[in-house]
Chain A
Amino acid sequence: MTQFSRRRVLQGGAAIAAAGLFMPNIARGASPKVVVIGGGFGGATAARHLRLADPGIEVTLVERTKTYQTCPFSNLVLGGMKTMDQITHTYDRLPSRGIKVAHGEVVAVDADKRTVRFADGATLPYDRLLLSPGVDLRYDGLPGYSEAAAEKMPHAWKAGPQTMLLKKQLEAMPDGGTVIIVAPDNPFRCPPGPYERAAMIAHYLKNNKPKSKVLILDAKDRFSKQGLFEQAWAAEYPGMIQWIGKQDGGKAKSVDAAAMTVETEFGKEKGAVINVIPPQKAGKLALTAGVAAESGWCPVDFETFESKLIKGIHVVGDACVAAPMPKSATAATAQARVAAYAIADMLRDRKPGAPSLSNTCYSMISPDYGISITGVYNAFPDGLKEVGGGVTPMNASKDDHKLEATYAYAWYAGVTYEAFA
């Protein structure tokens, strides 16, 4: 089944070898090998499309964990609209798509020899490497915050135990308490996420602890879908959610996990529950591979999502620098498809073209109230540019907000199906 591509692959391998970059396995007659590390939306979707692009490519998806809890809809778990089980996915069905799944932790990448090394010493060769490292939290980005402090002031910015911790804290807090959300400056994973979270927490509180409030202390002056969120909060949770931007003193200067306080320039705010969403950077894997720049994020070429720092390594998803695309699951999957088909082209010595990408982010306000932002992006020589899209119109009808909530569920079903089913 690989005969059709073998010759082209050989030519491609020869060309690359001639350039002195590496001695490819494909030159020895084996199938080209692509290793994908990181089994989130970017990695899992890329693995699928690499196989669709060329069944002759041997694709191995490397992931540390056996299950994956999605950040999308994890706020709905806080709001009581979804269970953790409903946002938990496995890699069990990927082998039926011809994807090899390897569970393990990659501790080193040798870009010259084109191998990755696991914690147990085993190595895996690749012709092209695709990383979807996600984000790591910068615990050094906010004085007083740390991995230990996160056990008292959860970030819940990676879905899983942290989400459940925050949920349990909400369930344990007294009625009349204040839930503080500390929101970071840009760029960070899921720009509308803190504000959807405020709505979902308010949804829980409205039904269970109606005298309680949500206070968002923000390190920036504007946020994604701001007008829509403010309109929606007022409509669904009147008087319950207060947002304080940077110019009004909302930026957290430090946190104190023992005292359960957040310090701003106007003093200390005490919270019954404090959700600290710290600044972020590309996941550690990006650092391991050497594809993260000083900014902490990974610069890439937008036609291929190949690293601008190390050839042969592609980076998709939240870890890469793809502004104006937001760091979202949908964006990661669009980037994953671009990277997958580009890699298939490059392995056949064909030049990829200029791609079109798109993004859709739904935010849930209540079970019947959704809002969204969309964007269409084309790759130009000087970067990605938004050529279409926009946010839900202000003052959209109740019916439209209900439809958007319905479509949010459809989106979730579709995007998780493509990645994991």
Chain B
Amino acid sequence: MRRTTVISVAVAVIALAGTAAAQSPTAAPPAPAATPAPAPAAAPPPPKPPATETTPANIRLIAGNCLVCHSESASAAGGMPILAGQDAKVIAAAFREFRDGKRHGTIMPRISKGYDDGVVDAVSAYLSKTK
């Protein structure tokens, strides 16, 4: 019951975060305007980031995926970092480092490839407000 209340609050907070995220074109990749046309021999560009909805409902679903392993019970069993209640900036920075190859990991470097910056920020904000 208490948990439900907390989550309702979190959802409300994320509704704001989601709105903020929606105002910037986060689903689109960084504008390639400054990049010169690739030479014919150049390697193909990395695949376009996926269009993931940043609605509060979808951010809650994605956070739900994170929380399977990053929960208190999981952490007790395997030294996994607990994400609920962590600083959103810390979560987002770690996630980006995994995704961008700047931090060693096991499964996170792979999973993180599936999420763009807008999603990362919104999910991190959600997790930070989750108890």
Contacts and interface: CB of A to CB of B under 8 A. Distances in A.
A376 B109 CA distance: 12
B100 to A, nearest CB: 13
A345 interface: yes
A403 interface: yes
B23 interface: no
Nearest to B62: A356
B80 interface: yes
B90 interface: no
B111 A334 contact: no
B57 A374 contact: no
Contacts of B112: 388
Nearest to A402: B106
A98 B4 CA distance: 11
A195 interface: no
Interface string A402-421: 01101111111111011001
B57 A360 contact: no
B7 interface: yes
Which applies to chain B's interface (DSSP): helix, strand, loop or mixed? helix
A400 interface: yes
A358 interface: yes
B33 to A, nearest CB: 24
A410 B65 contact: no
Contacts of A392: 106-107
Nearest to A51: B4
Given A353-B55, A354-B58, A389-B114, A414 B106 contact: no
Contacts of A337: 61, 64-65
Range of interface residues on chain A?
35 or more
A210 interface: no
A154 B39 CA distance: 59
A360 B65 CA distance: 9
B43 interface: no
B42 interface: no
Given A357-B65, A389-B111, A418-B68, A410 B74 contact: yes
Contacts of A52: 3-4, 7
Q: Which of A334, A356, A387, A417 has the most CB of B within 10 A?
A: A356
B61 A341 contact: yes
A345 B57 contact: yes
A69 B64 CA distance: 24
Nearest to B1: A55
Contacts of B70: 414
A355 interface: yes
Contacts of B1: 55, 98
A418 B57 CA distance: 19
A358 B63 CA distance: 11
Interface in B38-61: 50-53, 55, 57-58, 60-61
Nearest to A370: B106
B52 A409 contact: no
Contacts of B50: 376, 378, 385, 387-388
Given A345-B57, A378-B51, A404-B106, A410 B69 contact: yes
Contact of A374 (B3, B53, B67, B107): B107
Contacts of A60: none
B86 interface: no
Contacts of A360: 68-69, 107, 111
Contacts of A415: 68
A338 interface: yes
B77 A388 contact: no
A8 B6 CA distance: 22
Contacts of B64: 49, 334, 337
Q: Which of B1, B3, B69, B106 has the most CB of A within 10 A?
A: B106
B126 interface: no
A354 B61 CA distance: 11
Contact of B78 (A330, A333, A376, A407): A407
A390 interface: yes
A307 interface: no
A406 B53 contact: no
Contacts of A345: 57
A322 to B, nearest CB: 15
Q: Which of B7, B57, B115 has the most CB of A within 10 A?
A: B57
Query: Nearest 7 A-B pairs (CB), nearest first?
Result: A388-B114, A410-B78, A376-B114, A414-B74, A413-B77, A387-B50, A417-B73
Interface of B: 1, 3-4, 7, 50-53, 55, 57-58, 60-62, 64-65, 67-71, 73-80, 106-107, 110-115, 119
Given A55-B4, A376-B50, A410-B79, 10 more contacts: A98-B1, A345-B57, A357-B61, A358-B65, A372-B106, A387-B50, A388-B115, A391-B110, A410-B77, A413-B77
28 contacts: A49-B64, A52-B4, A52-B7, A337-B61, A337-B64, A338-B61, A353-B55, A356-B58, A356-B61, A356-B65, A356-B114, A356-B119, A360-B69, A360-B107, A360-B111, A372-B107, A376-B114, A389-B111, A400-B106, A406-B78, A407-B106, A410-B75, A410-B79, A414-B71, A414-B80, A417-B71, A418-B68, A418-B71
